[in-house]
Structure formats: structure tokens, C-alpha cells
């Protein structure tokens, strides 16, 4: 009799799709002239159109269309020459018209893809590229915001956000792990920021992500029952929420339970997902064509004009960096996450043509300083020529790599050039043979016991002696020369 397979033996695989809402960076709203500026006094940026007064007519903001087409092209989508707006009906206090103008049957962009670079896997992979399908991208208006704050037992509605333009970008369920989902989200954010169509700020709500997740036994073709997650407002929370949700589903399945199709919210404090609404309460939006807006006919000329304005995109730049500078794909991915960072890298390489050295310094020292301070590369007080200046000092032996890290920190803090700091603090590397010999002799004289052990064959003590000399020189001795001289002297004693 074959062994009975239990639920414990099954290997599960995640199936993830992401729905992203990106706020387009227009000065005015999608169907009226109100400002989209963030942070204004409640309801100060409203008019009869975005307040949903009877008898008003929406007019499409041309910039919204241009930005949406530009994004669609960057995501390799087919741009529909004919598309249409639809009314999505639901009742909620922050939705003054009782419906949201969106696109349903005929979206603007369809059938695209985004390529993402994944970090090296366990199987010794050196980083790989995965293509994730984009099902559709369409324009719609945002809703307002309910405010439940203050001591009074009342809620308020702020309609400044009502009518702000959004692009909803829906991926195919091609994503197979949380890491892939995060990589996709970062790559998508990079594209939007490169195109200058969205500021990519998740905390301010200009980029929102709603993942849908399910599990299936490895090898099974059909998808499992999926759960949608809402209310997540940072990259870190998206990752945590997805990890939690997959663990929850796996436990349920292993215990012989069943995943229920529902929408769940991420609870930031408890770090769990909780039910928002079940399938029984699922909305039937009763979409129908928006009668107040004419269907969109997009001439091929306009699409071609917009295509000409596309900058070099992150995936093309990443591919070029890896090829042209001979750096690993993963380095290229990190360096091209923002246009400014990529530009900084290239400016440094132009002045100091050793791309891998520069990449290492940017990915460790520079990004650490930026992250610690919550800054962007635009805030970096070290211009590329000074960065190159520091690396040249290491190359010509003026300072050691270790001292250079301390000098770098000082440069970041003060904005001063490396040479000036090195001179002022007397950090010039000691390479003079006589000076190094004095240091080496001092150390050997101070440690007769270790010398004896070395003579007996404990040669791993070499590291100890090097460390002592470096310490005595306050890190300034040229480590290569110290090593060489110590080996020579200790070797002679051995004979």
C-alpha cells in the first residue's frame, strides 16, 4: 500500500498579484482645476465638480492622459486607441458623487510587463531577471478622506483628495514569493519616479499597494482561494503583511482548514491581518459607461510624440551599467534605483574610472550615511569630484582603506575635501621603510613570548603582530609593507 500523504508533506507555493495606485504628479485634479498640493487645510482645494454637485460636468485633464500613456509605454503595454471611462458605484462618506469615475471594460493600457532583478538565491545564483506581466493600467479619480480625530465624538470628511488623478496598475499573478513582490514594487516605483509621473511616496499615500495572495501545492495548476490585503502604507509593512498572510494561510491549510475569499486589513500595531469584509459582502459596483465624458480616441501621432519623451528607463540603464562598467547585475540594480543615484555613479566613474571600486563605496559607505540620515542622494554633501579625490588618495598610497572610511565620514559631516582632512589630522599613511621598521621592532621587542610561539610554528600569530603595529601607528602604517617586513623578520628568527 502506498504511504498516505498527509497535509504536512505538501510543499506550498505562493501566488501573488499586486494592484498599485500611483498618484500622478499633475498640478490640478483629473476633472477640474483644483490644486493637488499635499498638506493644505481640509476642504480648501475643492470646487462644485470635485464636491459632486448636481449639474456639473467633468473635463479630462490632458496631462493625466499624457502621463498615463507615458507610463503605459514604459511598462511595455499596448495603448488602446479607443478607451472609455466608467462609473463605479458605491456608497461611502468620502465619495461625494456616490460613484467614482474609473475605467473598466476598455482600459487605456493592457498586456505589458516589468522586468525585475532578483538578488542572488540560495542555489548560488548570481542574481537573475524575472519578467512580471502587467494586466492593465487605467486612469481614475481618488476619493476623499474620512478623519476620525480630536476629542469630540465626531468624524469629518476632507475632500481635498477627491478627484486627484490616479493610475491603477494591476499585475498578473506571476509573483511567487514575498521577495519577488517587494522587488516588483521597488522596480515599479523606480519606473514611475524616472518618468517623473509620481513622487513614489508611500507614507504620503502617493503610492499605494494592495496585494492579493493565495497558496497552492507545488505542481498544481489551479490557483488557491485568494485573499486581498488593504491599508498598507510603507514598503516595510507590505513585506510584513504579505509574510504574515502567507504564514496564516499555510497554517490553515496544513491543519486541514480552508482559506476563505475575503479582504483583510493590516493592523500595524499587532502586526497581523484582520478581516475587513467577506465575499458575501463583496461589492457589486454596477459599472456603467460614464455619460458625461466622451470616449477617448488616442491618435497614433500623440502616442509617438509621447514615446519620444521617454528617458532611459531603469531596466535599460541596469542592463547598460552591467555591460558597460562590468559590474554585477545586483550592483547595477541598486545603482539605478533612482536617476540621481545613477547619475552620481556615472559622474564618479568619469573622474575615477574604476567602476567596481566606486560601486562598492556607494553601496556600503554612501548608502549607509544616506539611510542613517533619511536623506536622498540629492542631499549628499560630497560632490562626485571629491568622492573621486578620496579614492585617488587610497590608490596612490597616501591613506589606507581603513583610514579612508573615517575620512569619508568626516567629509560627509563637513563637506570638506579629503586631502584637507587627511593633512589637518595627520592621517597620511606611513610607507617609509625606516619608520615602519622602527614600529615593527618596537612591537617585536614588546612581545617576546609571542615571538617564541611563532618560532615554535604558531605562524597564525602573524595577524596578531600586524594588528599591534597598526595599533601603534594609529592605523596609519601601510598594512602591505608591515606584513611584508614582519614576515621577513619573524622568518629570519625561525631559522
Q: Which residues bind Zn ion (CB under 5 A)?
A: 32, 34, 47, 49-50
- Which is nearer to Zn ion, 47 or 310 (by Cβ)? 47
Q: How far is the CB of 366 from Zn ion (least distance, A)?
A: 43
Distances from the Cα of 112 to the Cα of 63, 108, 122, 133, angstroms: 22, 12, 30, 6
- Which is nearer to Zn ion, 50 or 118 (by Cβ)? 50
- Which is nearer to Zn ion, 45 or 249 (by Cβ)? 45
Q: How far apart are CA 159 and CA 346, in angstroms?
A: 44
Q: Identify the residue whose cell numbers are 466622451.
A: 294
Q: How far is the CB of 99 from Zn ion (least distance, A)?
A: 16
- Which is nearer to Zn ion, 31 or 184 (by Cβ)? 31
- Please tell me the total number of residues recorded for the chain in this structure: 495
Q: How far apart are CA 84 and CA 101, in angstroms?
A: 10
What number of helices (H) and strands (E) belong to the chain?
Answer: 16, 16
Nearest alpha-carbon partner for 129 in 180, 76, 74, 188: 180
Q: How far is the CB of 277 from Zn ion (least distance, A)?
A: 30
Q: How far apart are CA 194 and CA 450, in angstroms?
A: 59
Please, how many CA atoms are within 13 Å of residue 277, restricted to the half-sphere of its CB? 6
H-run or E-run covering 18: strand 12-23
- By DSSP bridging, strand 288-289 and strand 86-89 are antiparallel
CB proximity list for 124: less than 8 A, separation 6 or greater: none
- Which is nearer to Zn ion, 59 or 316 (by Cβ)? 59
- Which is nearer to Zn ion, 46 or 336 (by Cβ)? 46
Nearest alpha-carbon partner for 317 in 342, 341, 352, 340: 342
Please, how many CA atoms are within 13 Å of residue 227, restricted to the half-sphere of its CB? 27
Q: How far is the CB of 40 from Zn ion (least distance, A)?
A: 13
Q: How far apart are CA 296 and CA 302, in angstroms?
A: 12
Tally of CB atoms within 10 A around 151? 5
Q: How far is the CB of 48 from Zn ion (least distance, A)?
A: 7
Q: How far is the CB of 100 from Zn ion (least distance, A)?
A: 15
278-294: b or e for each residue (b if 16 or more CB lie within 10 Å)?
A: eeeeeeeeeeeebeebe
- By DSSP bridging, strand 262-267 and strand 227-230 are parallel
Q: How far apart are CA 206 and CA 194, in angstroms?
A: 15
Nearest alpha-carbon partner for 385 in 339, 351, 411, 420: 351
Q: How far is the CB of 139 from Zn ion (least distance, A)?
A: 17
- Which is nearer to Zn ion, 44 or 155 (by Cβ)? 44
- Which is nearer to Zn ion, 50 or 108 (by Cβ)? 50
Please, how many CA atoms are within 13 Å of residue 324, restricted to the half-sphere of its CB? 12
Q: How far is the CB of 163 from Zn ion (least distance, A)?
A: 6
Q: How far is the CB of 45 from Zn ion (least distance, A)?
A: 7
- Which is nearer to Zn ion, 32 or 439 (by Cβ)? 32
- Which is nearer to Zn ion, 28 or 273 (by Cβ)? 28
Q: Identify the residue whose cell numbers are 543615484.
A: 341
Q: How far is the CB of 295 from Zn ion (least distance, A)?
A: 23
Q: How far is the CB of 160 from Zn ion (least distance, A)?
A: 9
Amino acid at each position: 500500500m502506498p504511504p498516505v500523504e498527509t497535509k504536512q508533506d505538501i510543499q506550498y507555493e505562493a501566488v501573488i498579484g499586486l494592484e498599485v495606485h500611483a498618484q500622478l504628479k499633475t498640478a490640478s485634479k483629473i476633472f477640474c482645476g483644483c490644486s493637488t498640493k499635499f498638506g493644505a487645510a481640509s476642504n480648501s482645494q475643492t470646487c462644485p465638480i470635485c464636491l459632486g454637485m448636481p449639474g456639473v460636468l467633468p473635463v479630462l485633464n490632458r496631462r493625466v492622459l499624457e502621463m498615463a500613456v507615458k507610463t503605459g509605454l514604459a511598462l511595455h503595454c499596448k495603448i488602446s486607441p479607443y478607451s472609455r471611462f466608467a462609473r463605479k458605484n458605491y456608497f461611502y462618506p468620502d465619495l461625494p458623487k456616490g460613484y467614482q469615475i474609473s475605467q473598466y471594460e476598455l482600459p487605456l493600457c493592457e498586456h505589458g510587463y516589468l522586468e525585475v532583478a532578483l538578488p542572488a538565491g540560495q542555489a548560488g545564483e548570481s542574481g537573475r531577471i524575472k519578467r512580471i506581466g502587467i494586466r492593465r493600467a487605467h486612469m481614475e479619480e481618488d476619493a476623499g478622506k474620512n478623519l476620525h480625530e480630536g476629542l469630540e465624538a465626531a468624524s469629518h470628511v476632507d475632500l481635498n483628495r477627491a478627484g486627484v488623478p490616479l493610475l491603477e496598475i494591476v499585475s498578473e499573478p506571476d509573483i511567487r514569493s514575498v521577495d519577488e513582490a517587494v522587488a516588483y514594487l521597488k522596480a515599479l516605483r523606480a519606473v514611475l519616479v524616472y518618468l517623473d509621473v509620481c513622487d513614489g511616496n508611500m507614507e504620503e499615500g502617493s503610492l499605494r499597494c494592495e496585494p492579493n495572495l493565495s497558496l497552492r501545492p507545488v505542481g498544481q495548476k489551479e490557483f488557491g482561494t485568494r485573499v486581498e490585503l488593504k491599508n498598507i502604507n510603507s514598503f516595510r509593512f507590505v513585506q510584513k503583511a504579505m509574510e504574515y498572510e502567507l504564514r496564516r494561510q499555510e497554517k490553515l491549510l496544513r491543519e486541514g482548514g480552508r482559506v476563505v475569499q475575503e479582504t483583510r486589513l493590516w493592523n500595524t500595531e499587532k502586526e497581523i491581518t484582520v478581516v475587513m469584509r467577506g465575499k458575501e459582502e463583496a461589492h457589486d459596483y454596477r459599472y456603467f459607461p460614464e455619460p458625461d465624458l466622451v470616449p477617448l480616441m488616442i491618435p497614433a501621432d500623440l502616442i509617438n510624440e509621447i514615446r519620444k519623451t521617454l528617458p532611459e528607463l531603469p531596466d535599460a540603464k541596469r542592463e547598460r551599467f552591467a555591460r558597460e562598467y562590468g559590474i554585477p547585475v545586483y550592483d547595477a540594480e541598486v545603482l539605478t534605483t533612482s536617476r540621481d543615484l545613477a547619475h552620481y555613479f556615472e559622474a564618479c566613474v568619469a573622474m575615477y574610472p574604476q567602476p567596481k571600486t566606486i560601486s562598492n563605496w556607494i553601496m556600503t559607505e554612501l548608502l549607509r550615511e544616506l539611510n542613517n540620515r533619511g536623506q536622498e542622494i540629492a542631499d549628499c554633501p560630497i560632490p562626485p569630484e571629491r568622492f573621486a579625490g578620496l579614492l585617488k588618495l587610497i590608490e596612490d598610497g597616501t591613506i589606507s582603506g581603513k583610514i579612508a572610511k573615517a575620512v569619508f565620514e568626516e567629509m560627509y559631516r563637513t563637506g570638506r575635501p579629503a586631502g584637507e582632512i587627511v593633512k589637518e589630522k595627520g592621517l597620511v599613511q606611513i610607507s617609509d621603510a625606516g619608520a615602519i621598521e622602527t614600529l615593527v621592532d618596537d612591537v617585536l621587542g614588546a612581545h617576546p613570548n609571542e615571538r617564541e610561539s611563532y618560532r615554535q610554528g604558531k605562524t597564525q600569530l602573524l595577524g596578531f603582530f600586524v594588528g599591534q603595529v597598526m595599533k601603534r601607528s594609529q592605523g596609519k602604517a601601510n598594512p602591505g609593507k608591515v606584513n611584508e617586513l614582519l614576515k621577513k623578520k619573524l622568518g629570519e628568527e625561525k631559522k
